[in-house]
Structure 1
Amino acid sequence: MSNYKRVSLNFGQHSAHFGEVGIGVEETSERVRSDTLFSALIVTYARLFGKDAVEDLLKSFDPSPPFRISSTFVYYDDGKNRIDYLPKPLKFPRGYPVGNDLEFAKTYKKIHYLPLDVWQRWYQGNGFTNDDRTELIGYTNKTKTSGSLNNAGIFDYSQTYQIHKTPKVAIDRTTRATNFYHTGFVQFDRSCGLYFLIEFINADQDLENRLHAALNLLGDEGLGGERSSGAGQFEATWSDLSDTWKKLLNCSQPTDYSLISLLWQTPIPDTLHADRASYGILERGGWISSPFSGRQLRRKKVRMFVEGSVFPVRPDGQLADVTPYQFQKLHKIYRSGIAFSLPIILY
């Protein structure tokens, strides 16, 4: 029987750099996707327990994974109330007035993340209501009044963090020539941070303890880029799921499934790209970080389904082998495309 945990990452006063596509290192996201989080965990796991242990762990993902992790998402927690944000599925909720939404369509499209309570109501409960429509119209017309959406925090996502750019200078070791550039950093409000879900497919206390240790080491070293500057350091808190989370995960009679992680699978089953599916695709590349080789190489690029993608069946996903040719004799490099999805009801 699956065992779920919610892991909260508190960055405190530490900024973080989560690289995004852009010019150099100027751009940063406010969160980390599941493949990056998985890779960071595997690297620290290898440092703690050695090459044989991490190879055994990776082998255990075939034919089915021992655990799944979601991407990270923003949370707000002032000690009294907690808001966990989730990606809005790429399908309209039940009750949404398709074709009759001109008065609030721009506002709806700008909302990419939903508070947990709103997500559960729209995609597992009563769906979109007339009160929701009225409130979105009011927000669009800048005559915002209090309502269930506002009280849940649906319009407050952008206030949980700030992104700033720090000027830096690089000095060439040979010519001493200087190069001026900017690096983007995200700074979370003191009541905010990131969280992710982890599902242990079978009870395995030893594996859970090892992942605890790996995550603690990762918190000391930092998540993301610019770690040599102290960026990305965090404290991790593991907790059981709230009643709302348990109800959400145990939704009965779902019609579809929405990703809260990236997904890669080959070959792609016909059921995943059926007419009812709605998805986005993102190319993932980057550099290899290996504790055993000391070499810096680019890994192979893969294209993955993004969070919020909706499929008519529960997707599984796989580890993608992204080992570059020059690395073949050292060890394999994997990117996680293991799916973590939530059940939804669309009709």
Structure 2
Amino acid sequence: MRVEIFKLFREGHILLHIGLRRMDRTSHLIHSDTLFSALSNSLFKIFDENKFNEFEEKLIISSVFPGLRGPSKDILFLPMPNIPINIDDERDHKKYKRFQWISWNGLKELLKYYDKDSEIIYLKSTGNLKPINSKFLISIEEYEELKEFREKNENIIFMETNLEPKVAIPRVPTSEEKKQGLYFQENLELFSIESSTGKKLMPFLYFIKAKDDTLNQFIPALNLLIEEGIGGERSTGRGQFDYYEKDESEIPDNGDLEITLSLSLPRREEVDNIIYFNLVKRDGFIYYQKPTGYRKKTHYKIGEGALVKTPYIGQNMDVSPIKDMRVISYGKSIGWKFS
């Protein structure tokens, strides 16, 4: 399947705050419905709402994942699939349970060991896969290419969370001091790694988009999005980018199984196709050109990295609590197919 890859870059550190219904917690990825909402709000500011129906109908996107730009090529990461992994060595077994991300080449290698009968990955040897830290797994070829960046430290750590002290002040001033207080806000930070020879590993974020004919609407919306930012705390520079690059690539589109790469809401006839999955709760307030004060209908979606049988398309849904305000939550699936 031919897809477009949009890579988001920032000079210096990338800072994000993607709320998890609490200011002191942040998500480690931007879900596809959050990306869709940000693009839609940008679209409304540039075009009229009549453009939105076509945009919603045709747009198929993944969630936003991390990547690394090395001296010779980019390494793109995807969520580790929710498939049980069986390894003879108990130490390796525990280690693999902690991995959260795997490179494209690493995923291709991992899925070679999937056993259809037991629906489990029997990883007899881990020699073709190497960790760069406790959360990221790559192929042995990519590991060798990053050799000079492991001279100072065996672990290459380019993504971490940090805590920032904040003071809570009520919107309506009162004399009750207990309503004010210190708390720590969690942010996600991606930063460059430099080798002893001066070469750099530059982190970025990217998402996948199925090819369609909405580019005349999509590109202006994306240009505005990277200026205004995505997620929370945008007024302090969180979620903002300096530029993007567009590439094209192929992802596997043949096979009767699929690893999902977006938050998805299965259609009724697709529920039985889901094999392994995590449920993700979605709610929050509606931003419709400005804060509305209305809460979205609480709903649950299938998380990224789920194993499903094809066909698996998913669907968008209206999560508005009132009739005269249509609010779409993105739930279509784009996936990595295999047999």
Q: Counting strand residues as a fraction of each chain, which structure ranks higher?
A: 2
Matches within 5 A, 1:1-347: 3-13=2-12, 14-21=14-21, 24-58=22-56, 61=57, 66-92=58-84, 98=86, 100-123=88-111, 130-132=124-126, 150-151=143-144, 159-172=157-170, 173-175=172-174, 177=177, 178-190=180-192, 191-200=202-211, 202=212, 204=213, 207-242=214-249, 246=250, 248-250=251-253, 252=254, 254-269=255-270, 271-273=272-274, 277-291=275-289, 294-325=291-322, 328-329=323-324, 331-345=325-339
Work out the CA distance in 2 between the residues paired with 1:150 and 1:109. 20
Unaligned runs of 5+ in 1: 141-145
User: Does the 8 Å contact 1:164/1:186 carry over to 2?
Assistant: yes
Residue 114 (structure 1) shift: 0.8
CA-CA distance at 1:321 after TM superposition: 1.1
Distance 1:258 1:226 in 2: 32
Letter in 1 for 2:261: I
Aligned in 2, Cα 1:125/1:210: closer, same or farther, shift over 3 Å? farther
2-structure distance, mates of 1:258, 1:278 = 10
Cα distance between partner residues in 2 of 1:27 and 1:158 = 24
Match of 2:118 in 1: none
1:15-52 CA-partner distances (Å, limit 9, x unpaired)? 2111125xx30111232011111111111111111223
In 1, Cα distance between the equivalents of 2:239 and 2:122? 37
Q: Structure 1's 99 and 161: CA in aligned 2 closer, same or farther, altered over 3 A?
A: closer
Deviation at 1:160, TM superposition (A): 2.0
Q: Is the 8 A contact 2:113 2:122 kept in 1?
A: no
Change over 3 Å in CA distance of 1:129–1:179 after alignment to 2: closer
Contact 2:130 2:140 (C-alpha < 8 Å) held by counterparts: no
1:76-101 residue CA offsets vs partner (Å, 9 max, x unmatched):
00342311011122225xxx6x3734
Asked if structure 1 preserves the Cα contact closer than 8 Å seen for 2:252 and 2:338, the reply is no
Q: Matches of 1:267 and 1:157 in 2, distance apart?
A: 44
User: Counterpart of 1:77 in structure 2: which amino acid?
Assistant: R
1:56/1:11 Cα in 2 relative to 1: closer, same or farther (>3 Å)? same
Instruction: Tell me the amino acid that sits aligned with residue 35 of structure 2.
Output: L
What is the CA-CA distance between 1:269 and the residue it aligns to? 2.7
Partner of 1:143: none
Change (3 A) 1:302 1:270: closer
Q: Is the 8 A contact 1:77 1:83 kept in 2?
A: yes
Alpha-carbon distance between aligned partners in 1 of 2:306 and 2:209, rounded to the nearest angstrom: 19
Cα 1:267/1:134, change in 2 over 3 Å:
closer
Residue type of the partner of 2:238?
A: A
Q: TM-score, normalised by structure 1?
A: 0.79
Please report the TM-score for the alignment, with normalisation by the length of structure 2: 0.80
Cα deviation digits, residues 289-343 of structure 1 (max 9, x gap) = 101x651221011111111111121310111110113xx22x2011000011111
| Aligned-partner Cα distance in 2 for 1:136–1:52 | 49
CA RMSD in angstroms comes to: 3.0
Structure 2 gap ranges (5+): 115-120, 193-201
**Percent of residue pairs bearing the same amino acid type:** 23
Q: CA 1:221–1:149 in 2, change beyond 3 Å: closer, same or farther?
A: closer
* Number of residue pairs the alignment of both structures matches: 308
